[in-house]
Amino acid sequence: MTLALDTPRLHLSQVQIEDWVEYYSILSAPETSAHTDLPRAPTEKRAKGLVGWMIRTSQQAKGFAWMVRLVETDVLIGCIRLNSIDKSASVAVIGYEFGKSWWGHGYATESLIAVTKHCHEGMKLFRLEAWTLPGNPASDRVLIKAGFRYEGTQRQKMIIGSQRFDQRLFGRLADD
C-alpha cells in the first residue's frame, strides 16, 4: 500500500502516534465536531486514544488514516481516513476533519480526490461511502466535488450522545 500521497499543496502521510498533539488542537475546537460523531470537548488522553485507534485499525487492515500537512509549512491541517474497510465487499467508509483556520481553501476536496483515486486504483476498492449529518453543506459539497453521489437519507440512523440523527449517504464507485 502506498503510505504517502502528495498533491500540489498537501502532503498526506500515514498517521503516527506523535501526531496526536497537533491533531488535538483540531479535534478540541467545538466547530470540528459539531456535525460529526467525534467526541465533544475531548481530553488530550481521548485525542491520543483516537490516534492510537487509527494506528491499530491500519495494523489490522481494517482501516487507514492519513494526516494532512501543508507542503509549504508542514503544519498539520486535518485528517482523512478509511474508518472501515470491508475487503470481501471491496467497500470502505471515509471520514475527515480539518481545522477551521484552513476551511474554504479547497484542502478537504484536494485531499479527498487524492485518497479516492488511491482507494480505487491502488487499493482496488470498488465502492467508497461517506455520510454527513443534516446541516453540514460544506461536507456535502466536498463529497460532490470529489465525485461522490448523494444516495439518500437513512432516517434516524445515528445516535450521538442521547440524540438520534438522520444520516445522508454518499457513494462513489470505481467506474463512476
Ligand X SMILES: CC(C)(COP(=O)(O)OP(=O)(O)OC[C@H]1O[C@@H](n2cnc3c(N)ncnc32)[C@H](O)[C@@H]1OP(=O)(O)O)[C@@H](O)C(=O)NCCC(=O)NCCS
Q: CA quadruple 37, 146, 173, 84: dihedral positive or negative? A: negative
Q: Which is nearer to ligand X, 17 or 138 (CB)?
A: 138
Q: Which is nearer to ligand X, 12 or 142 (CB)?
A: 142
User: Using the 8-state DSSP alphabet, how is residue 17 labeled?
Assistant: G
Integer Cα distance of 60 and 98 in angstroms: 25
**By the 8 A CB rule, do 115 and 80 touch?**
yes
Fill in the per-residue mask, 19 to 38: x = in contact with ligand X (CB under 6 A), - = not in contact. Answer: -------------x--xx--
Candidate list 142, 148, 170, 172; residue touching ligand X; CB under 6 A: 142
Task: Decide if residue 96 touches ligand X (CB under 6 A).
Answer: yes
Residue type, 57: T
Q: How many residues bind ligand X (CB under 6 A)?
A: 20
Q: CA quadruple 43, 48, 71, 136: dihedral positive or negative? A: negative
> Interaction with ligand X in 36-55: which residues (CB under 6 A)?
36
Task: Decide if residue 170 touches ligand X (CB under 6 A).
Answer: no
Q: Which is nearer to ligand X, 87 or 156 (CB)?
A: 156
